[in-house]
Amino acid sequence: MSRVKPKSALERIAPYRPDTSGAVSANPIRLSVNEGALGPSPKAIEALRQMGDRLHRYPEQIDADLVAAIANYSGLDPARILPSNGSDELIGLLATAYCNDGDEAIITQYGFLVFRQSVSVAGGVPVIAPDEGLTVSVDAILKLISPRTKLIFLANPNNPTGTMIPRADIERLIATVPDHIIIVLDSAYAEYLDGGDEDYTDGAEYVEQHDNVVMLRTFSKIFGLGALRLGWGYFPPEIYATLATIRGAFSVNAAAAIAGAAAVSDKAFYQRSLDHNRHWMPRIQASILQAGFTPLPSVANFFLIRFASPEAAAKAHQFMIDRDILLRRMTPYGLPDCLRMSIGNDAEMELVSAAFKDLSHIEGMGIAPEIKSK
């Protein structure tokens, strides 16, 4: 038997791998990974076409055009913007840079699972703050702060719950937490709110006011570039310097940089994506409700659907797979009676709506008889 052993922290981790399998065809209706509904920006595709003859060149370590495009889009200070290989990379780097072995990071009960995995891989200990219902509880987080706490990870809006943390709660957290603890605000889905809710903050303003608050963003959602792995963070100067030092020198490849700069500047595509989400979110939720199931409110581009039991959720998941519709099981998140789905394109939403109607006639779905007979 091999005597080669990974570091002991890795013996404790429950590996998290997004489940993208199960499709019947090569081109399923994939609503299981919260991707953008309308594909990539046409401007990003065009930009990529034009880079073909430069594939032999290493990318810029920090691409100035990309940073300028993000700064222009966000109105933020380019000196604090650090691009990354997906925002997942920044989550991992934060855990690696700030957790010594056995240090603690507070993560919320239904928080994004990558947080837990990254902390464990870094040798830290994820400490789980119970949510109130499906929403983050600042009080629960504050109770768990200990001398070993180094980081607090929050996704806002949160995946998979689709709920958001109100501005007042974020401000209370920042005001109360000792300033040697980093508060990570992962705002991967901020675009779907687009200033439409005064109670929402992506957190950038606090990064400028505090040395211990950071904000993470991604190109994998509204900008439709999941395949290229591109994210960015907004950091206080010292955290920026630390992460820029340990980040892989070439972790953002040239294709991602050129497509990202084009996508983030494509205002028409952005608006179309936002309008599409705002159009379909209430409609698809209404049709699922009409079919007798329970969609939960969401401020993002995805939502949970609650079923009568974990068995009913599993059956619904398989029923959808048989129609080549991929939804996400929520058992790893401790929500086995729920499935998560994202908003797809028009044709996909029509098919999903019809599929839920048919699902309501299946035995074992726990649908109230008066709804089933409709």
Ligand X SMILES: Cc1ncc(COP(=O)(O)O)c(C=O)c1O
Q: Which residues of the chain form contacts with ligand X (CB under 6 A)?
A: 34, 86-88, 112, 155, 159, 186, 188, 218, 220, 226, 231
Nearer to ligand X, 105 or 291 (CB): 105
Give residue number: closest CB to ligand X: 86
Between helices 86-98 and 113-122, what is the axis angle to 10°? 40
Nearer to ligand X, 197 or 350 (CB): 197
Nearer to ligand X, 170 or 291 (CB): 170
**3-class SS at 177?**
coil
Contact (CB, 8 A) for 220 and 230: yes
Closest distance of CB 229 from ligand X, Å:
7
Of 75, 36, 342, 39, nearest to 202 (Cα)?
Answer: 75
Closest distance of CB 340 from ligand X, Å:
10
Measured CA to CA, the distance from residue 101 to residue 284 in angstroms comes to: 46
List of residues 6+ apart from 185 with CB closer than 8 A: 154, 156, 170, 202, 203, 206, 213, 214, 215, 216
What are 102's two structure tokens? 């056995």
Q: Is 97 exposed, middle or buried (0-12, 13-18, 19+ CB in 10 A)?
A: middle
Closest distance of CB 187 from ligand X, Å:
8
What are 28's two structure tokens? 């399923």
**3-class SS at 204?**
helix
Closest distance of CB 289 from ligand X, Å:
24
Closest distance of CB 121 from ligand X, Å:
15
Measured CA to CA, the distance from residue 134 to residue 363 in angstroms comes to: 29
**3-class SS at 152?**
strand
Closest distance of CB 231 from ligand X, Å:
4
Nearer to ligand X, 218 or 298 (CB): 218
Closest distance of CB 92 from ligand X, Å:
10
Measured CA to CA, the distance from residue 298 to residue 370 in angstroms comes to: 27
Closest distance of CB 112 from ligand X, Å:
4
Closest distance of CB 355 from ligand X, Å:
23
Nearer to ligand X, 159 or 277 (CB): 159
Nearer to ligand X, 251 or 290 (CB): 251
Q: In what order do the strands lie in the sheet with 104-108?
A: 81-84, 231-234, 213-218, 182-186, 149-155, 104-108, 125-129
**CA distances in angstroms from 215 to 85, 114, 185, 192, 211, listed in the order given:** 15, 16, 5, 16, 12
Nearer to ligand X, 107 or 291 (CB): 107
Nearer to ligand X, 203 or 292 (CB): 203
Nearer to ligand X, 88 or 266 (CB): 88
Nearer to ligand X, 115 or 240 (CB): 115
Measured CA to CA, the distance from residue 308 to residue 373 in angstroms comes to: 17
What residues pair up with 125 in beta bridges, in sequence order?
104
How do 328-329 and 104-108 pair as beta strands?
unpaired
Closest distance of CB 351 from ligand X, Å:
23
